[in-house]
C-alpha cells in the first residue's frame, strides 16, 4: 500500500480507538460511583463532643457526616474537620464508635487506643474488627 493511503487509514484507526476508549470510560464511570450520594439516608454514625463541659454523644446521618467532611476538609490536616455540636454549639463533634459489648456500650472517639484497631474500646478493649477477623480466620464467616 502506498504512503498516501496509509496515513488516512492510520488516522482513522487512532480516532476509532480514542472514541472507543472514551465510550468505555464513560460507561464505566457513569454507573454507580460508590460515593457519598450512594450512602442510604437511614444509615447512621455515632459522633461525640470533645468539649469536656458537654460530652454529648448522638447519632447522625452517615451521608450528612461525610458530606460535611468532604465540603470542609483541609487537605493539609490529618484529621476530619469538627462539626458543630447540637448541645453546646461548639465546633467539637467528631466521629465516634459505640462499643459492641452489651455490658459496656460506651461511645468513644474513633482511634482512642493508639496503634490499635480504630474501633478498639478504651474501656473493655473489645474491637468489632478484630472479632470479625478472628471469625473469618477460624472459618466461621463473619
pLDDT digits (tens, 9 = 90+) for 10-66: 776 776 666 666 666 665 655 555 688 888 889 999 999 999 999 999 999 999 999
Contact 133, 141 (CB under 8 A): no
Residues 21 and 62 in one domain: no
For residues 13 and 44, membership in a common domain is answered with no
Count up the domains in the chain and report the number: 2
Which pLDDT belongs to residue 68? Answer: 92
Ramachandran angles phi, psi of 84, nearest 5°? -80, 130
Parent domain of 55: 36-137
The string of pLDDT tens digits covering residues 94-125 is 999 999 999 999 999 998 888 999 999 999 99
Torsions phi, psi of 128, nearest 5? -65, -35
> Does 132 lie in the same domain as 118?
yes
Burial tier of 120 (Cβ tally within 10 Å: 0-12, 13-18, 19+) = buried
Beta strands in the chain (DSSP E): 44-49, 57-61, 83-84, 91-98, 107-109
pTM (global) more than 0.75: no
* 56 touches 107 (CB < 8 A): no
Amino acid at each position: 500500500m502506498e504512503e498516501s493511503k496509509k496515513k488516512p487509514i492510520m488516522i482513522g484507526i487512532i480516532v476509532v480507538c480514542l472514541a472507543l476508549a472514551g465510550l468505555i470510560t464513560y460507561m464505566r464511570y457513569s454507573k454507580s460511583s460508590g460515593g457519598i450520594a450512594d450512602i442510604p439516608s437511614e444509615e447512621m454514625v455515632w459522633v461525640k463532643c470533645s468539649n469536656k463541659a458537654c460530652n454529648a454523644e448522638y447519632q447522625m446521618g452517615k451521608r450528612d457526616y461525610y458530606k460535611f467532611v468532604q465540603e470542609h476538609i483541609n487537605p493539609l490536616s490529618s484529621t476530619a474537620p469538627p462539626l458543630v455540636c447540637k448541645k453546646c454549639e461548639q465546633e467539637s463533634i467528631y466521629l465516634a464508635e459505640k462499643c459492641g459489648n452489651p455490658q459496656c456500650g460506651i461511645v468513644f472517639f474513633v482511634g482512642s487506643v493508639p496503634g490499635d484497631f480504630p474501633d478498639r474500646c478504651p474501656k473493655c478493649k473489645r474491637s468489632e474488627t478484630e472479632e470479625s477477623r478472628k471469625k473469618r480466620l477460624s472459618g466461621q464467616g463473619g
